[in-house]
Structure 1
Amino acid sequence: MAIPDPDIIARLTEQFDFHDPHYTPDVAETVNREIREKAAVTYSPAHGGMWILSRYEDVKAALKDHATFSSGSGVHFPRAPGMPKFAPIDFDPPEHGGIRKLMSPPVRGDQVRRLEPDIRKLAADLIAPIAERGHGDLVAEFARPFAVGVLGLLIGLSEQAQGEIRGLTRTLWKHLSTDSDAEKFWPAYHAVLAEEVRRARARPDDSYLSWLANHTVDGEHLPDEQLYSIIVSYCIAGHDNTMNTVSRILWHLAGDPDLQRRLKDEPELMPGVAEETLRRWCPTDRFTRVTTRDVTIGGTTIPRGARVVLLFDAANRDPKEFGSPDDFDPRRGNAHHHLSFGHGIHHCVGAQLARLEFRIVLEELARHPVYRLSERSQTYFENGRHIMFDKIAVRFDRPPAPGLDRLMGITTGLWESQALVAATDLGLFGFLAECGGEGADADTVADNLGIERRPAEVLLTACASLGLLRLSGDGYANAPVADHYLVPGKPDYLGDYVGMLQTYVYPGWMRVTEAVRTNTPSRVIPQPGKEIFDAENRPTLFWRGLHPLSALTGRALAAGVDLPGATRLLDVGGGSGAFAIELCRGNPRLRATVFDLPHVCAIAGQRIREAGLEDRIGTLQGDFFQDAELPGGHDTILLSMVLHDWDEPRNRELLAKCYRALPAGGTVVISELLVNADKTGPVDAALMSLNMIVGTPGRNYTAREYERWLRDAGFDDIRTVEFQGPAANGAVLARKPGGVSVGYSA
């Protein structure tokens, strides 16, 4: 941690302002301590004036005395007009009691215990591939999807809404305290929640969201103001603080391998680790209240109607309550006295669930090898109070040994893919979707699919074992993953991708030894004398199957890589246009051109029209190898899932063309499944590379290889941004020197 500037510390101690750009998490710890040691009550003229309480006894007393320290004016300060209240924290009695009662069903003890197996599976499924790969970003790949995933399990959010919540929350925090009204962030958030409410009322189920949306009082639904206040509070508090605390736990353990080993041997320490993390690094640095009367604390009178800041961080590190408060001690006997969950009537409604989540995270991590930080992490505030990590890049000490179980899984891996192929070809998932939640038994499936009962029963059992189906009464129904991705007509339907692999890709894999032995693709193509992407060699089936996979990956790219200055994108080898479509959806200022072969542009044009983006995305026919130059007039060039098809000389040739086509300051983005630097994985990138041996002259490359080629082409400011999509795990970005940079950030 950098040593804070003494002048900044002195200024912020005298004129405290948690929205000052110099008030960073590192600076905050020192400023908060100085304020606490200065006096029981301090005053700052910032934002019209505010009083600060920072000592444990005083902050706890204020939290308990809700009659004097009111939340009814909103605890976020300043606050854009037009933003609805957050339930229940922004309400005083008597409204508070009724709202809290409405919010309690999903976080009751019995409901939390019911969720434990699903939460544990979610945590295990997220951490396993990172540990197997041996490295990763524990914020992007674990803490964030874990927190949002638990929120989905808790209240019943759709997968689409889960995918949007983090970005919407980030935008809300960015503007809540700085804008003159809520128009820049609340309408978009409200639109997503409104769609969830509409869905819950149209198709009621057993989720909390469905119960709340359909709950009536005297025959009337809850007023919209109250309904959306509850839902948005769950969406924000239900993932934000969990994500931040999980991130802090992961970060601290990454810097203390000895503690990781102790937790494996002494799991009874795990609750103490969670409580001490909450005490030492409060995920929400402060809340505010407004006084309802004059109140005197430590000889200073705070007038009626004053805004009061409660510094949780300072209180949690008050030496009068916690000895050696800056030390991390998992055996600290009173760590649970921290105020991170609040106190009094506003004590966190989801505290029991949060503690369960932290315990599960620690238990699942303990099943894997010790890990360590591989890069420095940066912390920053959102809305001046939520402490966030930009990333937690780690490397595990060793990959898990395969063992016999792993070897048998590799040996029979083909069986899994072929079970999926058979179920997709026979229309199993579509039929079960028509049956609804009740599902169907083996006899019903056999009759409707036109097969005998024996194979129907065996196929159902196989798909259930793979997590594609779930038991429903006496039969089977689609599991959520199958319902989302394997039902024809759904937006993210991957059945065509499964069919494309079976018809177009897998025959070549049956001759993979030949490909490796001869260094020649084993995939049979109709016109061997022509390029692999010519119309005769890449059937329409290929593009139809690849489109949804590309769309899902494009969505992950748009969420993981920010291009704030990009206005004109050239998607080189853009295929069906999926990446251009998703990037334009994520950036309303962006216009794009898909540059590809004539027959591919026809496919892209149709997809662009279906997306309703023909006014922002065009197509341009050409051949990026045969044409002397790439089209100009663009400030950003995207090469997504392109370079793995070609060898190094052709890739260098293409990058040189990108350099010449870009203006000074322009950016090139390479999005791929990147092989790690030591070429030991990750599994998906390594096997995709072998797939290239089967079908192309290329392979999957490391970020360092791309960096070297980019530098040789003339680019600078080269960096790699990790993200996780189904067909890409990172992007290598580079800038053409000179001019005004388009800019990019993770």
Structure 2
Amino acid sequence: MADVYDPFDPGFQADPYPAYRRLRDDDPVHHHEDPPFWALSRFDDIWAATRDAEAFSSARGLTFYPDEIGRLGLAPTIVMLDPPRHTVLRRLVSHGFTPRRTAALEDMLREFARSRIAVMEGKAADGEVPDLHRDFSSPLPTFALAHLLGVPEADRARFDPWVTALTTLQDDGFDMKAMKGGAVEAVAEMFAYFTDVIAERRADPSGDLVSALTAAEVDGERLTDWDVLGFCFVMVAGGNDTTGNLVSHAVALLDGDHAQRERLAADPSLIPNALMEFLRLEGSVQALARTTTRPVTLHGTEIPEGEKVMMLFGSANRDEREFGPSASELDVTREIARHLGFSSGVHFCIGSHLAKLQARVALEELLAAHPNIGVDLERAERISSPFTRGWVTLPATGIETA
């Protein structure tokens, strides 16, 4: 059934929103049998949970699979730590990963976005069908992250296989026997690569983010090599496909409402607010887990201590209780006091300013060059994942050539 919550069902993954609504209305503290976990679907419940790290811990992983990081043989990264250690690491990382450092990328991002638009135009002129996601949205965050981290242009092609490997392992439940396409080897390659980069930056600092992180110091404490390595891992794993999918989702949503697309093309100053609406309606991260450290009772149901709890961000961000009766509709001028597109609380996305910069530049350039940009959903292919929502391919329409 379309309104049954089954995170592994392809039908649910294609359109999860009817099932989310049914959970919000009838089963806001849902218990899933296999694998065992609880699912929260209402905005207020998830907002409160993200801001209560004491009761809802991140230290046992962010999926409903047991010991996902342990199965890879890795130590926990910053997103899988609780205060007080998380607080210390975040302060240190923030000293290197500043909004000013991110803002300095804008001119280069704009030039790169224009070059990728030219690629799509070239394909269209040759009679090919340009792919918005592969040709434009996905390369943009790869460029931004590689430049920030000081990765030479010749090495940037490695990013996509690393991200694919992490997604494959996640969707296989971090089961080494079920791994596909050398996923574990790809992850090991990523860690080896950045281990060498960190050693090089400690010996000979440059102006990149890795150099800034190795030099960051707060109250006499500095980041260890593992801390920096873990942050590089988080940036590549969490900042690459999420940002690319935000851009692709935005174009798809606007193609469903040409009046609002025309409004943004005519007034680009509306784009920053519109980005929050796109992220609310079609968040790349649909769900993340926490683990209860004590019994928690919600809506008359007790979740025992030690249980995995999935926070269904994709449901919460369409909750009529928070956003009113038009919660499932696009409104690029909607006033949004709060939403969960970047999570909330101590784990609010540390790269949110970078994601917003990339998406703003991408949409400004796309709509300026091709105000009728759209997508062919009939020929598109979605990724298959119980945790994320995004694209493998997304053919573009409305690319005009001279």
Amino-acid identity (%): 28
Paired amino acid for 2:17: E
Q: Comparing both structures, which one devotes a greater share of its residues to strand?
A: 1
Contact preservation (8 Å) 1:66, 1:92: yes
Determine helix, strand or coil for the equivalent of 1:308.
strand
Q: 1:210 to 1:66 in 2, by over 3 A?
A: same
Determine helix, strand or coil for the equivalent of 1:301.
strand
The superposition leaves residues 264-293 of structure 1 with CA deviations (integer Å, 9 ceiling, x where unpaired) of 222232123211110001110001101111
Determine helix, strand or coil for the equivalent of 1:341.
coil
Q: What's the counterpart of residue 74 of structure 1?
A: 61
The superposition leaves residues 580-634 of structure 1 with CA deviations (integer Å, 9 ceiling, x where unpaired) of xxxxxxxxxxxxxxxxxxxxxxxxxxxxxxxxxxxxxxxxxxxxxxxxxxxxxxx
Separation in 1, partners of 2:196, 2:154: 10
Determine helix, strand or coil for the equivalent of 2:368.
coil
Higher RCO (CA 8 Å, separation ≥ 6 residues): 2
Paired amino acid for 1:118: M
| Alignment partner of 1:95 out of 85, 99, 103 | 85
| Alignment partner of 1:178 out of 164, 173, 176 | 173
1:333 counterpart = 2:325: no
Q: What's the counterpart of residue 118 of structure 1?
A: 108
| Alignment partner of 1:384 out of 359, 376, 386 | 386
Q: What's the counterpart of residue 179 of structure 2?
A: none
Determine helix, strand or coil for the equivalent of 2:389.
strand
> CA shift at 1:87, angstroms?
3.4
1:29 counterpart = 2:17: yes
Determine helix, strand or coil for the equivalent of 2:72.
coil
Paired amino acid for 1:342: S
Determine helix, strand or coil for the equivalent of 1:60.
helix
Q: 1:296 to 1:136 in 2, by over 3 A?
A: same
Q: What's the counterpart of residue 205 of structure 2?
A: 204
Q: 1:97 to 1:218 in 2, by over 3 A?
A: closer
Paired amino acid for 2:105: L
Separation in 2, partners of 1:86, 1:348: 17
> CA shift at 1:101, angstroms?
1.9
Contact preservation (8 Å) 1:374, 1:393: yes
Determine helix, strand or coil for the equivalent of 1:35.
helix
Matches within 5 A, 1:528-539: none
The superposition leaves residues 411-467 of structure 1 with CA deviations (integer Å, 9 ceiling, x where unpaired) of xxxxxxxxxxxxxxxxxxxxxxxxxxxxxxxxxxxxxxxxxxxxxxxxxxxxxxxxx
Q: What's the counterpart of residue 148 of structure 1?
A: 142
Matches within 5 A, 1:383-462: 383-396=385-398, 398-400=400-402
Paired amino acid for 1:293: R
> CA shift at 1:189, angstroms?
2.4
> CA shift at 1:109, angstroms?
2.6
The superposition leaves residues 100-143 of structure 1 with CA deviations (integer Å, 9 ceiling, x where unpaired) of 12322454232222222222222222223424654511111111
Give me the TM-score of the superposition, normalised by structure 1: 0.48
Paired amino acid for 2:60: S
Contact preservation (8 Å) 1:83, 1:186: no
Determine helix, strand or coil for the equivalent of 2:393.
coil
Determine helix, strand or coil for the equivalent of 1:290.
strand
Contact preservation (8 Å) 1:106, 1:155: no
Q: Could you list the runs of 5+ residues in structure 1 that have no partner in the other structure?
A: 1-5, 401-746
Separation in 1, partners of 2:285, 2:242: 7
> CA shift at 1:247, angstroms?
1.4
Matches within 5 A, 1:324-723: 324-334=326-336, 337-369=338-370, 370-374=372-376, 376-381=378-383, 383-396=385-398, 398-400=400-402
Separation in 1, partners of 2:80, 2:89: 11
Q: Comparing both structures, which one devotes a greater share of its residues to helix?
A: 2
Moved more, 308-317 or 68-77: 68-77
1:322 counterpart = 2:343: no
Paired amino acid for 2:31: Y
Q: Could you list the runs of 5+ residues in structure 2 that have no partner in the other structure?
A: 177-182
Q: 1:98 to 1:325 in 2, by over 3 A?
A: same
User: What is the CA RMSD across the aligned residues, in angstroms?
Assistant: 2.7
Separation in 1, partners of 2:82, 2:31: 25
Determine helix, strand or coil for the equivalent of 2:138.
helix
Separation in 2, partners of 1:352, 1:208: 15
Separation in 1, partners of 2:96, 2:378: 38
Contact preservation (8 Å) 1:282, 1:313: yes
> CA shift at 1:393, angstroms?
1.4
Paired amino acid for 1:372: G
> CA shift at 1:23, angstroms?
5.6
> CA shift at 1:160, angstroms?
3.8
> CA shift at 1:347, angstroms?
0.7
Determine helix, strand or coil for the equivalent of 1:333.
coil
| Alignment partner of 2:162 out of 158, 164, 168 | 168
Q: What's the counterpart of residue 244 of structure 1?
A: 245
Q: 1:93 to 1:229 in 2, by over 3 A?
A: same
Q: What's the counterpart of residue 608 of structure 1?
A: none
Separation in 1, partners of 2:385, 2:93: 24
Separation in 2, partners of 1:161, 1:252: 33
Q: What's the counterpart of residue 232 of structure 2?
A: 231
Contact preservation (8 Å) 1:291, 1:307: yes
Q: What's the counterpart of residue 99 of structure 2?
A: 109
Paired amino acid for 1:148: T
> CA shift at 1:329, angstroms?
1.0
Q: 1:216 to 1:338 in 2, by over 3 A?
A: closer
Contact preservation (8 Å) 1:253, 1:260: yes
Determine helix, strand or coil for the equivalent of 2:321.
coil
Separation in 2, partners of 1:383, 1:224: 31
| Alignment partner of 2:28 out of 17, 40, 43 | 40
Separation in 2, partners of 1:54, 1:297: 12
> CA shift at 1:303, angstroms?
1.0
Separation in 1, partners of 2:353, 2:155: 24
The superposition leaves residues 182-217 of structure 1 with CA deviations (integer Å, 9 ceiling, x where unpaired) of 845532322232233344345431111123346689
Contact preservation (8 Å) 1:41, 1:300: yes
> CA shift at 1:327, angstroms?
0.9
Separation in 1, partners of 2:216, 2:333: 45
